[in-house]
Chains A and B, each alone.
Chain A
Amino acid sequence: MNPGRARRVSTTIGGGLTLAFLFVAAIGPLIYPVDPNAQSLVHALAPPGPDYPLGADQFGRDILARVLHGARFSAGIAVAIVVLSLATGIALAGCALWTGGVVSATLTLVADAVYALPGMLVVLMVAGVMGGGAITLVLLLWFVKWPEYYRLSHATGRFVVSSEHVLASRLAGARPLRVFRFQILPTMAPYLLSVGSLSVGQTVLSIATLGFLGIGIAPPQAEWGAMINDLRGYWQLAPVQLAAPTVAIVWIVLGLLLLSQGLSERKARLDDAFS
C-alpha cells in the first residue's frame, strides 16, 4: 500500500466515522425518543430485548437512549470547548502579532505558563472540589486549552504577518480584521483544522475519564465514562450494557484521530510548499 493511499483511506475512514457519529449524536435522540433518565426499577439490568435494544442499567434506564444522549453531551461539550479555545487563541495571537512589544511578550508568557500547566490536574481539582456540571467543565477546559491554539496561531501567523503581501496590504491601509480574515486566516486554517479535530477527540477522552473518576458530572446526566464506572461491577450480569458506551468512546476517538492524521498530511504538503 503506498503512503498516499494509506492517507486517503485514513481520511475517508476517519471522516466517515466522525460524520456518522455527529449524525447519530444530532438526530439519534430524535428518531429514538426514549427518555434516558426514565427509570423502571423492576427492569434493572434487563438484558437486550424488544423493550431495551441494548439492555437496561441498574435503574432500568434504557442504555441505547443513554448512549445517544451521552454522545450529544460529550460531542457538544467537546466542540464548544474547542471552538471557544480556538477563537480565544486566534484572537489573542492576532492581538499579539499586531501590537507586538510588551503586550505580545506578556501574552506569550502567560500562554506558555498555562500551556505548561498539567491542565487536567487543575480541572480535576477545581471541578472535584467545586462540584461540576457542563458549564464548569467547559470553562475549566477552555482555560487550560486556549494556549495551545494561541501558540499555534502565533507561530504560523508570525511568518505570514511579516510576509510581503500582508505588509503590502497593511501599507495600503487595510483594516486589521480584513487583513486577518483574507490573508492570515487562510494560511493558518489547515493547521488549526488538523489540531482542532485531534483536540475534540482528546477532549471527549478527558470528559470520559473525569466521568469515570466521578468528577464534574452530576447525575442523572448520561455520560459514557460515568456509565462505565457505574456498570463495571456488573461485568458478568450486563456485558452488553457495559460494552455500549465503551464502543461509543473508541468509535469517536478513533474517527477523529484518523481524520486528523489525514488532515495533517495535507498540512505537511503545505509545509513543503512553504519551504
Chain B
Amino acid sequence: MIWRSSIARSLLLALLVALLVATLCFWVAHTLPGDLALRVAAGRYPGVQPNQDLADVVRQAYGLDRPIFVQYVEWLGRVVRLDFGNSLITGRPVLADVIPYLHNSLRIVFWGFLAAVCLAVPIGFLCGRAPNSRLDLVLTALSAALSTIPTFLLGIFLVQFFIVDRGLGSLSGTSGVARLWLPILTIAIALAGPLSRVVRNAVADVRAQPFMVHALMRGVPKRQLFLRHGVRNALLPILNYLPVVFLFLIYDVIVIETVFNYRGVGWALIEAVKTRDIPVMQCLVLMLVVFYLVATAVTEAITRLLYRQDARR
C-alpha cells in the first residue's frame, strides 16, 4: 500500500516538474524583451524587413492577440502531441530539426555513461575494499581534484592537448571513432569523479556491516563473501545516487558539446538560446527534462524491483 502511494507521488512529482518546466518555457517566450510577433515574422518571412504590419499578420495567424491563458492551454495541448511549431531560423518543423541532434547526443551519452561506470566501479571498489589505505587516499584525492575542475576546463584542455597539438582526433562530423572517443572520455572522466566516491563509500559501509562478519563466521569463503552478500547491499546507495549522475550528465553534455563543436542537443540548445529560436529551445529543454525524469523513474523502478522483498519485510 505504502509502495503504491509512493509510486503515485513519484508520478505526480514527475508530472509537476514537467509542467513547471513547460510553464517556464512558455513564460520565457512571452516575457521576452521585444515583440514575439516580430521575432516570428522575421523567421516566417526571412529577408523581409520586419515591421508592425507583418507583426500584426503574424499575431492574427498565430493567435498571439488572444488572452495569454488560452494561448498557454493551446500551446500545452500541442506540446503534448509533440508539435512544437516551426523553427524561427530554418522554418522547418522543430521536431524534424531536433531529431538529428537527439540522435547525436544519445551516441555520446550512452557510451560516455557506460565508460564512466566502467571507470568508477573498479576504482571505487578498490578504494572501498581497503578504506584509508594509501591507494584509497591517492585515488580519493584524485577524484576529488577531478570534481573540482569544471567540465569546460577539462574539455578545453583535452581538445588542445589531443586534437589541436597532436591531431589525435577530429572536431567535425558526428560519427566515427576519431570523432567520438574524446568527448566520450571527457564525459566519463567528469562523471567518474563523484560516482567512484559513492561506490567507494557504499562498498566500505557494507564491508563494515555485522552481517558480513556473521557470514564469514558461517563459513562463506572470503573470496565469495562480497559477491554473495555485499553486492546487493552496496548497490542500493549507488542506484539511489544515479539521478544525480543523470543531472550531471545533462549539464556536462551541454558544455562538452559546445567545447567539441558536436551537433547534439546541448550544442543546439546553446545556439537556440543565443539566436532566440524559441520553439527549438522549448523543445530541447523539455526533451532534456523528460530524459532526466524517465531515466530517474527507470532507476527507481529497478531499485524497487531489486529490493521489493526488503520493502515487504
Q: Does B215 contact A (CB under 8 A)?
A: no
State how many angstroms separate the Cβ of A78 from the closest Cβ of chain B. Answer: 14
Are B151 and A117 in contact, with the CB atoms below 8 A? no
Are A2 and B13 in contact, with the CB atoms below 8 A? no
State how many angstroms separate the Cβ of A112 from the closest Cβ of chain B. Answer: 6
Tell me the B129-171 residues at the A interface (CB within 8 Å): 131-132, 137, 144-145, 147-153, 156, 160, 164
Contacts of A130 in B (CB 8 A): 28, 31-33
A-B interface contact total, Cβ < 8 Å: 109
Taken together as a complex, chains A and B put the C-alpha atoms of A213 and B155 apart, in Å, by 13
Are A125 and B33 in contact, with the CB atoms below 8 A? no
Taken together as a complex, chains A and B put the C-alpha atoms of A62 and B281 apart, in Å, by 37
Interface string of A107-126 (1 = CB under 8 A from B): 00100111011101110111
Interface string of B164-188 (1 = CB under 8 A from A): 1000000000000000000000000
Are B24 and A126 in contact, with the CB atoms below 8 A? yes
Are A131 and B28 in contact, with the CB atoms below 8 A? no
Taken together as a complex, chains A and B put the C-alpha atoms of A201 and B296 apart, in Å, by 25
What is the interface residue range for chain A against chain B? 35 or more
Interface string of A214-229 (1 = CB under 8 A from B): 1100000000010010
Q: Does A235 contact B (CB under 8 A)?
A: yes
Tell me the A223-275 residues at the B interface (CB within 8 Å): 225, 228, 232, 235, 246, 249-250, 253-254, 257-258, 261
Are B148 and A125 in contact, with the CB atoms below 8 A? no
Q: Does A42 contact B (CB under 8 A)?
A: no
Contact stretch, chosen from B95-103, B224-232, B270-278: B270-278
Nearest A residue to B285 by beta-carbon distance?
A: A125
Q: Does A19 contact B (CB under 8 A)?
A: no
Contacts of A208 in B (CB 8 A): 150, 152
Are A125 and B25 in contact, with the CB atoms below 8 A? yes
State how many angstroms separate the Cβ of B267 from the closest Cβ of chain A. Answer: 11
State how many angstroms separate the Cβ of B89 from the closest Cβ of chain A. Answer: 15
Of A117, A125, A213, the contact of B255 (CB 8 Å cutoff) = A213
Are A122 and B21 in contact, with the CB atoms below 8 A? yes
Are A124 and B273 in contact, with the CB atoms below 8 A? yes
Contacts of B148 in A (CB 8 A): 201, 250, 253-254, 257
State how many angstroms separate the Cβ of A125 from the closest Cβ of chain B. Answer: 5
Are A6 and B20 in contact, with the CB atoms below 8 A? no
Taken together as a complex, chains A and B put the C-alpha atoms of A128 and B273 apart, in Å, by 6
Of A112, A124, A249, the contact of B150 (CB 8 Å cutoff) = A249
Nearest A residue to B273 by beta-carbon distance?
A: A128
Tell me the A128-142 residues at the B interface (CB within 8 Å): 128-131
State how many angstroms separate the Cβ of A2 from the closest Cβ of chain B. Answer: 7
Contact stretch, chosen from B72-80, B246-254, B305-313: B246-254
Taken together as a complex, chains A and B put the C-alpha atoms of A114 and B21 apart, in Å, by 10
Are A213 and B156 in contact, with the CB atoms below 8 A? no
Q: Does B258 contact A (CB under 8 A)?
A: yes
Nearest A residue to B12 by beta-carbon distance?
A: A109
Most buried by B among A3, A129, A258: A129
State how many angstroms separate the Cβ of A115 from the closest Cβ of chain B. Answer: 9
Are B17 and A121 in contact, with the CB atoms below 8 A? no
Q: Does A205 contact B (CB under 8 A)?
A: yes
- Are A114 and B281 also in contact (CB < 8 A) when A130-B28, A249-B150 are? no
Q: Does B7 contact A (CB under 8 A)?
A: no
Q: Does A156 contact B (CB under 8 A)?
A: no
Are B270 and A117 in contact, with the CB atoms below 8 A? no
State how many angstroms separate the Cβ of B60 from the closest Cβ of chain A. Answer: 25
Are B156 and A228 in contact, with the CB atoms below 8 A? yes
Tell me the B17-61 residues at the A interface (CB within 8 Å): 17, 20-21, 24-25, 28-29, 31-33
Nearest A residue to B250 by beta-carbon distance?
A: A118
Contacts of B276 in A (CB 8 A): 129
Contacts of A104 in B (CB 8 A): none
Are A212 and B132 in contact, with the CB atoms below 8 A? no
Are B156 and A232 in contact, with the CB atoms below 8 A? yes
Are A1 and B137 in contact, with the CB atoms below 8 A? yes
Contacts of B132 in A (CB 8 A): 1-3, 6
Taken together as a complex, chains A and B put the C-alpha atoms of A117 and B205 apart, in Å, by 30
Most buried by B among A116, A122, A246: A116
State how many angstroms separate the Cβ of B209 from the closest Cβ of chain A. Answer: 15
Q: What 14 new A-B contacts, CB under 8 Å, besides A128-B270, A130-B32, A225-B150?
A: A1-B132, A118-B247, A118-B250, A118-B288, A118-B292, A124-B273, A128-B273, A128-B274, A129-B28, A209-B150, A212-B150, A215-B273, A246-B153, A261-B144
Q: List 30 A-B contacts (CB under 8 A).
A: A1-B132, A1-B137, A109-B16, A113-B20, A116-B13, A116-B17, A116-B293, A117-B289, A118-B247, A125-B25, A125-B28, A125-B281, A125-B285, A128-B270, A129-B28, A129-B29, A129-B281, A130-B32, A209-B151, A209-B152, A209-B251, A209-B255, A212-B255, A213-B254, A250-B149, A253-B148, A253-B150, A254-B144, A254-B145, A257-B147
